[in-house]
Amino acid sequence: MKKLILMLLLLCGINGYMIEKMVEASATAASIKLDKPKEDSKELMFQDMLMLFLLPHIDKKIDEIYAKLLNYSPEIYPYFVEVKDVHRVNGFRGFHFSITLEVVPTVGPHIPVGKDILTFDISLQNPDNVELLSWKHLKDPQKSDFPPNWQDVLK
């Protein structure tokens, strides 16, 4: 009987720990804004194509920013990049754009490691059509956001 009670207490403790970790993971996922559109649209398709075009440029700067914070480069998923602002620099039907993006880099199973704002200039005047105008690092990785088996990612 004592063994049964001890086993039940142990199972309750493990269950409580697992529920706590699931709540933490849910809070982390909520901070990434996973409430993205549920259906496709032309605007969403164009935004996704733009992200594919800009992804190498985003990756380059994000790798540079997080090199001193992490032991390896974070991943950038296009659906964790939000367009904050876009405008034509030289007016109606001009092909010179400024685009500001909010980027949430992740590691492993989509663990957010920070938040950054990047502003790009897209035009024919630039050699590869894209130039990073500015960037602002908004949030560092927090050890408390990482499960114990992923904390070795942090420097």
pLDDT, tens only, 118-133 = 999 999 887 788 999 9
Q: Where residue 23 falls among pLDDT bands split at 50, 70, 90? A: very low
Question: Which neighbouring-strand residues pair with 120?
Answer: 99, 132
What mean pLDDT value characterizes the chain?
Answer: 83
b/e map of 68-103 (b: 16 or more CB within 10 Å)? ebbeeebebeeebbeeeeeeeeeeeeeeebbbbbbb
pLDDT of residue 14: 59
Residue 86's pLDDT is what? Answer: 94
Structure tokens at 9: 């207490």
User: pTM of the predicted model, to two decimals?
Assistant: 0.74
Q: Does residue 2 register a pLDDT over 80?
A: no
Are 32 and 112 in contact, with CB atoms under 8 Å apart? yes
